[in-house]
Amino acid sequence: MVGENDRISSFINSLDPGNLPFLDELERAALEDQVPIIRKDTQALLKFLMAQNKPRNILEVGCAVGFSALLMAAYTDADTKITTIEKFEKRIPVARENFSKYDTEGKITLLEGDATDILKGLDPGYDFIFMDAAKGQYINFLPDCLRILNKGGLLVSDNVLQDGDVFESRFAVTRRNRTIHARMREYLYELKHNDQLNTVILTVGDGMTLSVKL
């Protein structure tokens, strides 16, 4: 988001009481290492959803070094389970180290590999899915996410506005980004028109959708 929206985000973020100190430290380290993690306002929304929804069985697609998984773990009850998927070999050991240090209640399970394959093998029973992997693949992950998400469960997708690219004409987007642009538009259309879902698109962070399974 640009311009006026930046000012709105800065104002909203300035009111945020912050996270637990170990999360602040992880966030700082991730940003320093240029690991993409959820933004401040996205963090606030996730924390709100954890408190309001009280999910028991969470799936995250796109773990990176474990920041958002640990944030969800820190703000849920002790009996919540979180499964998170990551395929990038360099990030997996860092995530494992972070989980062994900070996931003191043993809530988090890390599945290593490509979500395209892993999702197919997962059994139904998730009440919250956080989609935060390669944006161009969301549309391909959707059928499995719908299959394994409980009725009444929530699918939350991050980065759906792609820094504003998604609402530009495809010709205003660099050639390199056109496939992602088309796929994200297809994903948003599907979320809004699929009979199994009720979806709201929010301008939080880099754009988020909340979809409840009917």
- Of 1, 23, 50, 67, which lies in the binding site for ligand SAM, with binding defined by CB under 6 A? 67
Residue (66 or 153) nearer to ligand SAM, CB: 66
Residues 137-176 touching ligand SAM, rule: CB under 6 A, are 137
| 8 Å CB contact between 133 and 85 | yes
- Of 23, 44, 59, 68, which lies in the binding site for ligand SAM, with binding defined by CB under 6 A? 68
User: Does residue 114 touch ligand SAM according to CB under 6 A?
Assistant: yes
The arrangement of strands across the sheet holding 126-131 comes to 108-112, 81-86, 57-61, 126-131, 149-158, 208-213, 197-202
**Which amino acid would we find at residue 146?**
L
User: Does residue 50 touch ligand SAM according to CB under 6 A?
Assistant: no
Burial grade of 77 (CB within 10 A; 0-12, 13-18, 19 or more): exposed
Residue nearest ligand SAM by beta-carbon distance:
62
Return the residue matching tokens 């992950």.
141
Residue (140 or 203) nearer to ligand SAM, CB: 140
Rg value, the chain, Cα? 17
Furthest-apart CA atoms within the chain: distance in Å: 49
Tokens of 64: 């990176």
Q: What's the min distance (Å) between Cβ of 111 and ligand SAM?
A: 9
Question: Which distant-in-sequence residues (6+ apart) come within 8 Å of 26 by Cβ?
Answer: 65, 66, 67, 70, 98, 102
Number of residues that bind ligand SAM (CB under 6 A): 20
Q: What's the min distance (Å) between Cβ of 28 and ligand SAM?
A: 13
Sign of CA dihedral 64, 69, 70, 75: positive
Residue (106 or 113) nearer to ligand SAM, CB: 113
User: Does residue 122 touch ligand SAM according to CB under 6 A?
Assistant: no
Residue (133 or 149) nearer to ligand SAM, CB: 133
- Of 1, 23, 38, 197, which lies in the binding site for ligand SAM, with binding defined by CB under 6 A? 38
Q: Which residue from 15, 106, 12, 111 is spatially nearest to 59, judged by alpha carbons?
A: 111
User: Does residue 88 touch ligand SAM according to CB under 6 A?
Assistant: yes
Residue (82 or 195) nearer to ligand SAM, CB: 82
Binding site for ligand SAM (CB under 6 A): 36-38, 62-64, 67-68, 85-88, 91, 114-116, 132-134, 137
